[in-house]
Amino acid sequence: MVRLRMMRMGRKNRPYYRIGAFDAHEERDGKIIENLGTYDPMESNNEKQVTLKKERVEYWLGVGAKPTESVASVLKKFGIALKK
């Protein structure tokens, strides 16, 4: 099973996340199947806060990948509809 989730990057007190497709059994910062974008929670400009490869995210959602709660909220903000 594939999960869409975040991998923490950045330094102490300055988080930066990569959004990617992971095997569900892989650890948080483990091996990534595909890098799908980034999320910078410290960025003040909302347009630069999230960068995503929209086509690839829609592909992974289409083949049954499940996003975590935090990734689902980022996708919703970015305008990608999630199936229920």
Where are the chain's structural domains? 2-78
- pLDDT of amino acid 4: 94
Asked if pLDDT for residue 28 goes beyond 80, the answer is: no
Cα of first residue to Cα of last residue in the chain, in angstroms, is: 17
pTM, whole model, 2 decimals? 0.85
**pLDDT above 90: percentage of residues in the chain:** 64
Q: How confident is the model at residue 17 (pLDDT cuts 50, 70, 90)?
A: very high
Q: How far, in Å, CA of 29 to CA of 78, rounded?
A: 23
Pick one of 3.20.190.10, 3.30.1320.10, 3.90.480.20, 3.40.50.300 as the CATH number of 2-78.
3.30.1320.10
Residue 14 makes CB contacts below 8 A (sequence gap 6+) with: 42
- 8/5 Cα distance (integer angstroms): 10
